[in-house]
Structure 1
Amino acid sequence: MSQQADPIVETPAGAVRGVRDGSGEFYRAIPYAAAPAGAGRFAPPAPHPGWSGVRDGTAPSPTAPQPARDFGRLDMTPYFGPGWVRGEDYLTVDVRTPAAGGGRRPVMVFVHGGGFVTGSTRAALYDGSAFARDGVVLVTVNYRVGIPGFLDLAGAPPNRGLLDVLAALDWVRDTIAVFGGDPGNVTLFGQSAGATLIGALLATPEAKGLFRRAIVQSGSGTGAFTPEQARRVTAAAATALGVPPTAGAFAEIPDERFLEILPALAGMDLRIGPVTDPLVGLSPFSLVLPVQPADALTEGPGEEVGLLIGTNTEEGHLYLVPQGTLESSTDDDVLALATKVHADPAAVVAAHRAARPGASPGELRSAVLGEALFGAGTARLLAAHARLSAGRTHAYSFGHRSTALDGRLGATHTVELPFVFDIADEPWLHGDAGLLGPDPAPAGLAARVHSAWVAFATHGDPGWAAYDPQRPQVEVFGG
């Protein structure tokens, strides 16, 4: 029996019991919306009815229905977490705080990645102990993914996963003070699909006033599908299920069946005229928007929100190295990829070749892929925000090369996360199949990255000059 009683916090919805540890207090699986069950899977998030008594916040939440993901020899378990852990009440947040009482501390709200089909708060990479240690209240968010979260259906609101994140931000505004957080000093941050969602929230009118700053890690301001592209995915899903493409028809189908048809949607050709697939076939789901977020910042809180944004220098390696295709790539493979992502593929290949003299076909293929998925959309969002909100945009580039998979994984997609969360020394991230490889992390790099994120969340200055298109300063981490 512990000498100190477990902490209990009174929220507007009811009391929650957490645990106290070396970094502060931890409250898990707190609902921010009602369970999305049955037809509710295709409805906007609804208020949670609350509870009587004290809710157990010491155990992790169920997760959104999602498929298992395999990255060959690379152990991506710390990123994807346990996969689908069944239970309807998964629209929840986890909260790490130095202490629920006393003080209005900066709040950071993290939105996970996973290609709009996977991910959860249970992933080991999102351990918020270091943020609580450094005086920040950290909130991590579960949201709907896959067909319930992002398939565009008649009779259902689009972008339901995005609506979930909005509902979680409403919860933060109304509730975070009882956990010791300042609802007026919220930084929204995320990675990959989560970062792309944040880019969209910068252009969403309903998000105004809900967060003061945003951090976009390896996302895209141009990652949304057009309505025409979304209709193509919806038609394929309806055909695979043998039902009409309506929310009413889909509401009758169990989640297991949605996961079974995902292979039939993989790798669809979503090119329509001059419009290419912003996810290059890696996911059949994304936001569905008539205008890309980078071109619509004036519609939302973009002007009033400070932005920290960047990418990793070898993003595309994650999709080639673990699968063994970096070495086997040919010039034809590079050109075929460029044809998927650009109207003038030869010019794209020539530009990448000029920028990387001596690069192998695999390295060029990775560069084209990384630019298409993250680089171009990040650059457009960066430039748009810098024009709109002068002096409030900061840019970074992460270049530390993981030595995983015989030293080839490099500064790939996701590799910055252990440094952001200041857990880069954890043994489960190392070894040849671990995300960071067998070599120890560079001394001081995690402290430098993590402290920049904390400083930005605290007062808007990560420690280097704001990005100015005339003087485009980009802070380089590692590499």
Structure 2
Amino acid sequence: MTGTPFVDRTVFVDNLTAQHSAGSAGTPTAARRPVAETFHGRVRGTVEGDVAVFRGIPFAAPPVGDLRFAAPQPPHTWEGVLDAEAFGPIPAQAEVPSSAVAPPPSPGDDGRGCLTANVWTTDLSGNRPVMVWIYGGGYLAGSSADPVYDGAVLAEEGGVVVVTFNYRVGAEGFGQIAGAPANRGLLDQVAALEWVRDNAAAFGGDPAQVTVFGQSAGGGGVAALLAMPRAAGLFRRVIAQSVPGIFVSPELAADVMATIAAGVGVTATVEGLREISPAALATAVDALDIREYADRWGAFAYGVTPFSPVVDGEVLPDTPWKALKNGASHDVELIVGHTRDEFRKMLAGRGLLGRVTEEMTEDALRALAPDGYRAAFPEKTPEQLYETLHSDWLFRMPSANLARDHTGRSFLYEFVVEAPGFGGALGACHGADVALTFGNLTGPLVEKLLGPQPNAELTTLSAEMRAAWTAFARGEGPGWGEFDDAGTTWVIGADPIVRSYPEQLSANLWAGHDFPCLPLRTSAAGREGSTS
């Protein structure tokens, strides 16, 4: 698709003028509804403060009926002007996020479906860099409607256009199903980026200056996109926060899906699973405890989710680490990093804080650790070693190794700010950096983690992180040196500093580990997660 869509810039400029002239309380509703024209039709958003917001714009057809387990298809065009004031439906998942401000999961028969995008912009006539966010949630849950992902602060302060979008999660997006393409959730992400390429100009964005950023499963999506031929040319820069190291073989993924399907009495085929509603299938997924299947699934059973990207050889030809070593995305600039205490919150969520035994630690060491791991940390208690190992294996070393393996420009960071919530017991835990990334430090879920009132330190750090991320998106660099043999790292703490990588001991232990595609075990013997 070529050409530049018509943009109703006059409408937007007049709207902002009317808003500031009348004041927010007296501004007529019509004067707060900017209109832009995408390739599929005109959309009408709202003006919130100094930012125009468009929500719930379809970037793909509803994934229902014959399209339920299919690759995403282009959205239908529409006549007139589509109201883009509210978020689209949340993708099917077992539990609707309590913080979401969108319709609940739906079969998509609203005509719009769940595959929708949202845009924040301060200038429809501009040519600004675009930042596209991919949410986390263990490839199992999540929604772009979460208030923490509101892009207004980034757009207004950073001089960028912010885009968020939904993608299919759980079995709908990542289940390995006979007769369906693998990695449908990743294909949704590519479709969203293609929509950005084709429509960024309609919202004042530059399609040649796209930065993709995401955290946790969203960071895994960012890493996967670096290795996907279908995503080549759709972005110029990426920011990968807390990248998961688990990528799986088709055989392992198929066995997981077959186990889930058997639980609801069907086969793991398109025909079989269409008999089960998305809600019922999501509930069946939620009931699965992967820890019970270590004999068949090996190291995968020590993870935190039943789904991960599948190295299928087509959609995803290889793991990100191997692909980057071989020169994939060499021309893409990369920021990647992790929190210091990645696994602490998950340990608490499993009720294991203060309860990890020596036997549990020994079992995890046998399944996951590189040689010499216990000896390298003689001062750690069994629980501390258990937590460090899982932090390293799940997030810290996959993130650090991504910087190491990328043949293009890489920048590494570590987030060491301890979350004030829960009496500080969670430390610098997984996800503590997300609210600071967007500058949204209030709200029920955020306040549980960061406290009811953001302190001056968090407010300042959030501003510094946003400045670094948006400067990077503008092509100015993040403000610290490239990752090199000295392990140059931005350590984000009370007093952010640039220094050598703080987790170098772990990095040395995992130096020969490329986070390979995890296979289906053929016997109870072996150590699928080991480097030896």
TM over 0.5: yes
Contact kept in structure 2, 1:19 and 1:25, CA below 8 Å = yes
Percent sequence identity is 38
How far apart are residue 276 of structure 1 and its match?
A: 2.4
| Alpha-carbon distance in 1 for matches of 2:330, 2:298 | 28
Q: CA deviation at 1:362?
A: 3.1
Correspondence for 2:219 among 177, 186, 195: 195
Match of 1:407 among 395, 405, 424: 424
Q: Which has the larger radius of gyration?
A: 2
Instruction: Give, in whole Å, the separation in 1 of the partners of 2:307 and 2:221.
Output: 12
Contact 2:291 / 2:302 at 8 angstroms: preserved in 1? no
The answer to whether structure 1 residue 178 and structure 2 residue 202 are counterparts is: yes
Q: Which residue of 1 aligns with 2:374?
A: 349
Whether 2:332 is the aligned partner of 1:305: answer: yes
1:287 aligns with 2:309: yes
Which of 82-91 and 33-42 deviates more? 82-91
For residues 294-313 of structure 1, the C-alpha deviation after alignment (integer angstroms, 9 at most, x for no partner) is 10137785211000000000
After TM superposition, give the deviation of residue 417 of structure 1 in Å. Answer: 0.7
The residue identity in structure 2 corresponding to 1:159 is N
For residues 39 and 274 of structure 1, the distance between their equivalents in structure 2, rounded to whole angstroms, comes to: 31
Give the 3 Å change call, closer, same or farther, for CA 83–317 of structure 1 in structure 2: farther
Provide the aligned C-alpha RMSD in A: 2.3
Task: Provide the C-alpha distance between the structure 1 equivalents of 2:293 and 2:198, rounded to a whole number of angstroms.
Answer: 40
Q: 1:40 aligns with which of 60, 67, 70?
A: 67
Of 260, 267, 277, 2:283 maps to 260
Alignment check: 8 A CA contact 2:87 2:102 kept = no
**Contact in 2 for aligned 1:276/1:342 (Cα 8 Å):** no
1:2 is aligned to 27
Determine the structure 1 residue equivalent to 2:415.
Answer: 398
Once the two structures are superposed, the pairs formed by residues 49-448 of structure 1 within 5 Å of their partners are: 49-68=76-95, 77-78=98-99, 84-88=104-108, 89-100=113-124, 102-134=125-157, 135-220=159-244, 222-268=245-291, 276-277=299-300, 280-289=302-311, 291-297=318-324, 302-342=329-369, 347-351=372-376, 353-354=377-378, 357=379, 359-385=380-406, 388-389=407-408, 392-424=409-441, 426=442, 428=444, 434-437=448-451, 440-441=454-455, 442=457, 443-448=459-464
- What amino acid sits opposite 1:183 in the alignment? P
C-alpha distance in 1, partners of 2:445/2:272? 43
Unaligned runs of 5+ in 1: 70-75
State whether residues 94 and 286 of structure 2, in contact with CA within 8 Å, keep that contact through their aligned partners in structure 1: no
- Give me the whole-angstrom Cα distance separating, in 2, the residues matched to 1:202 and 1:284: 23
| 1:367 alignment partner AA | T
**Native 8 Å contact 1:334 1:349 kept in 2:** no
SS in 2 for 1:239: helix
User: Per the alignment, in what secondary structure is the counterpart of residue 326 of structure 1?
Assistant: coil
- Per the TM alignment, residue 269 of structure 1 is displaced from its structure 2 partner at its CA by 5.5
TM-score normalised by length of structure 1: 0.89
Shift in CA distance, 439/180, structure 1 to aligned 2, threshold 3 Å = closer
Whichever residue aligns with residue 197 of structure 1, its letter is: G
Counterparts in 2 of 1:438 and 1:368: CA distance versus 1, 3 Å: farther
Q: Residues 282-330 of structure 1, C-alpha deviation per residue, up to 9 Å, x if partnerless?
A: 1111111053221013778521100000000001011123454212222
SS in 2 for 1:132: helix
Residues 173-203 of structure 1: per-residue CA shift (max 9 Å, x gap):
0001010000000000000001101101101
Q: Which residue matches 1:455?
A: 471
Shift of 1:77: 4.5
Please report how far the alpha carbon of residue 332 of structure 1 lies from its aligned counterpart in structure 2 after TM superposition.
Answer: 2.4
* 2:487 maps to 1:472: yes
**1:444 aligned partner, one-letter code:** T
Show structure 1 runs of 4+ deviating over 6 A: 80-83, 272-275
Deviation at 1:273, TM superposition (A): 8.7
3-state SS in 2 of match to 1:257: helix
Shift of 1:455: 0.6
- Please tell me whether the aligned partners of residues 217 and 309 of structure 1 are also in contact (alpha carbons under 8 angstroms): yes
Instruction: Indicate if the aligned counterparts of 1:42 and 1:148 stay in contact, CA closer than 8 A.
Output: yes
Partners of 2:479 and 2:154 in 1: CA distance: 17
Contact 1:9–1:179 (CA<8 Å) still a contact in 2?
A: yes
C-alpha deviation, 1:406, in angstroms: 2.1
Distance 1:50 1:405, change over 3 A: same
Measure how far apart 1:419 and its partner are. 1.0
Q: Deviations over 1:187-229 (max 9, x none)?
A: 0000000110110110111111100000000013x32112221
Deviations 1:339-377 (A, max 9, x none): 332375xx33333x34xx3x4443332211111111121
Amino acid aligned to 2:120: R
How many residues are matched?
A: 455
What displacement does 1:250 show?
Answer: 1.5
Gap change, CA 1:5 and 1:129, over 3 Å in 2: closer
CA offset at residue 411 of structure 1?
A: 0.4
Q: Structure 2: how far apart are the matches of 1:106 and 1:251? A: 41
Structure 1 residues 238, 300: closer, same or farther in 2, change over 3 A? farther
Structure 2 equivalent of residue 72 of structure 1:
none
Instruction: Answer yes or no: is the 8 Å Cα contact 1:232–1:270 preserved in 2.
Output: no
Which whole-Å CA distance do the structure 1 matches of 2:27 and 2:367 have between them?
Answer: 59
**2:471, 2:477 within 8 Å by CA — same for their partners in 1?**
yes
TM-score (norm 2): 0.81
- Kindly provide the CA deviation profile for residues 81-134 of structure 1, in whole angstroms up to 9, marking residues without a partner as x: 77943251010011011122x220010000000001100011111011111112
1: distance between equivalents of 2:266 and 2:332?
43
Contact map agreement 1:204 1:299 (CA 8 A) in 2: no
Letter aligned with residue 399 of structure 1: V
- Which segment drifts farther, 51-60 or 372-381? 372-381
Q: Distance in 1 between matches of 2:302 and 2:171?
A: 19
Tell me how far 1:462 sits from its aligned partner: 0.2
In structure 2, C-alpha distance between the alignment counterparts of 1:264 and 1:195, rounded to whole Å: 25
* Pair 324,475 (structure 1): closer, same or farther in 2 beyond 3 Å: same
State whether residues 39 and 248 of structure 1, in contact with CA within 8 Å, keep that contact through their aligned partners in structure 2: no
Q: Which amino acid aligns with 1:34?
A: A
Cα deviation 1:453-476 (Å, max 9, x = unaligned): 0011111510011111x2210000
